Amino acid sequence: MSDRSSLGPWVRRFLLEHLVDERNLSKNTQQSYRDALRLLLPFVANRVKKAVDCLQVDHLNADTIRAFLSHLEKNRRCTVRTRNQRLAAIHALVRFISERSPEHLQWCSQIRTVPFKRTGKSPIPYLEKFELDALLAAPNVRTEQGRRDHALLLFLYNSGARASEATLVTVRDIEALTDGSGVVELFGKGNKRRTCPLWKSTMSELLSLRGSRSPTDRLFLNRFGHPITRFGVHTMVERHAKAASKKVPGIRKKRVSPHTIRHSTATHLLRSGVDINTIRAWMGHVSIDTTNIYAEIDLEVKARALAACETDQRRRRQRKNWKDDRSLLAFLNSL
């Protein structure tokens, strides 16, 4: 690249070459980075009184980035999590530039000093089994759309699939087994594929939904016969969650989305005694640390249950003084 000071060519290379060819990031991540720059560049252009196409690399600096992040929170009312996502995209861009243009190393270091904000650890939303059953029973299965919605809800719960993964499932991705159950191949984050088992009830619903369609057709269609989008999946889940909350009012207190169903799958699998590594593979987690979040949930539930089962007599029992515990003292002396 002849002109290393112009920002535009760097942005184009970053979006079209780096994210797609070198990083092989998912479409959603690419769009997230693109959206961050669509907000940043006009903000910077207005701040320096230049056209977007005339921006220079040096027009991006730490003070401008801080002002942009403040604008996101105050004017656009973005959450801290969204603010941090935008900053991550900016950090990725400046790192990309500095790795290919050594003269911008100091510039990159200054911008990278802009810190992420700490966010409170929000609890993972999930549905109890009776709440999930109410959600599955919400669609009117006497109608064609109701049967489709019920099959999709059951599939999301059975497989733990993300909304985007469910939209990509084709007819040939599901395979029936001799005992009536089945498996599905999911195309997930990082272009990774994984195989999940399907219950007999799920497989029966999907085979009915599939009919005699072509193997390359998408499995889940909207009411117009087009492949359903992830926004369509979100809308469908929210609609039936609202209906289910009339019978189970506790659902109203929870934010129910396709990802809530995914969290419910992992939590219920863990409670059923499924090994944590099996759950990691089932959910398509890259790191076991992500799956361990559900173990923390389950430990909290077990602790509450144990406390509830504790008898009044045990609560009144005076605890033994640790000084009188000779086995403990012997242990400490042996260290």
Based on the domain organization, do 172 and 304 belong to the same domain?
yes
Query: What confidence tier does 311 reach under pLDDT thresholds 50, 70, 90?
Result: very low
Based on the domain organization, do 172 and 255 belong to the same domain?
yes
| CATH number (domain holding residue 199) | 1.10.443.10
| pLDDT 10s digits, 212-258 | 889 999 999 998 889 999 999 999 999 999 999 999 999 999 989 99
Catalytic residue among 13, 95, 189, 194: 189
Average pLDDT over residues 297-306: 58
Residue 279 confidence (pLDDT): 80
Is 294 noted as a catalytic residue in this protein? Answer: yes
Catalytic residue among 13, 34, 259, 271: 259
Based on the domain organization, do 47 and 179 belong to the same domain?
no
Question: Which amino acid is located at 5 in the chain?
Answer: S
Please give the share of the chain, as a percent, with pLDDT higher than 70.
Answer: 83
Based on the domain organization, do 77 and 148 belong to the same domain?
no
Domain count of the fold of the chain: 2
Greater confidence (227 vs 272) lies with 227
For residue 152, count other CB atoms closer than 10 A to its CB: 28
Average pLDDT over residues 294-315: 57
Based on the domain organization, do 173 and 103 belong to the same domain?
no
Asked whether residue 36 is assigned to any structural domain, the reply reads yes
DSSP one-letter string for 65-91: HHHHHHHHHHTS---HHHHHHHHHHHH
Asked whether residue 187 is assigned to any structural domain, the reply reads yes
Residue 116 confidence (pLDDT): 94
Catalytic residue among 33, 126, 157, 294: 294
| CATH number (domain holding residue 15) | 1.10.150
| pLDDT 10s digits, 159-169 | 999 999 999 99
Average pLDDT over residues 31-36: 92
Helical packing angle, 288-309 and 258-271, nearest 10°? 60
Please say if the pLDDT value at position 209 is more than 80.
Answer: yes
Asked whether residue 124 is assigned to any structural domain, the reply reads no
* CA 15 – CA 7 distance, rounded (Å): 13
Q: Calculate the average pLDDT of the chain.
A: 86
Q: Among the listed ranges 3-7, 260-264, 327-331, which one has the minimum average pLDDT value?
A: 327-331
Is 157 noted as a catalytic residue in this protein? Answer: no
- The parent domain of residue 93 ranges over 7-111
Based on the domain organization, do 74 and 164 belong to the same domain?
no
Based on the domain organization, do 258 and 138 belong to the same domain?
yes
Torsion sign (Cα): 115, 117, 121, 122: negative
Catalytic residue among 150, 262, 263, 280: 262
* CA 224 – CA 325 distance, rounded (Å): 73
Please say if the pLDDT value at position 143 is more than 50.
Answer: yes
Please say if the pLDDT value at position 297 is more than 80.
Answer: no
Average pLDDT over residues 125-150: 94
Please say if the pLDDT value at position 314 is more than 60.
Answer: no
Residue 321 confidence (pLDDT): 60
Asked whether residue 284 is assigned to any structural domain, the reply reads yes
Based on the domain organization, do 69 and 165 belong to the same domain?
no
Q: Which of 62, 252, 83, 269 is nearest to 158 (CA)?
A: 269
| pLDDT 10s digits, 35-65 | 999 999 999 999 999 999 999 999 999 999 9
Based on the domain organization, do 81 and 21 belong to the same domain?
yes
Based on the domain organization, do 144 and 96 belong to the same domain?
no
Residue 308 confidence (pLDDT): 55
Is 240 noted as a catalytic residue in this protein? Answer: no
Catalytic residue among 162, 240, 268, 280: 162
Is 189 noted as a catalytic residue in this protein? Answer: yes
Query: What confidence tier does 192 reach under pLDDT thresholds 50, 70, 90?
Result: confident
pTM of the predicted protein model: 0.65
Q: Which of 218, 151, 192, 171 is nearest to 284 (CA)?
A: 192
Is 259 noted as a catalytic residue in this protein? Answer: yes
Residue 318 confidence (pLDDT): 54
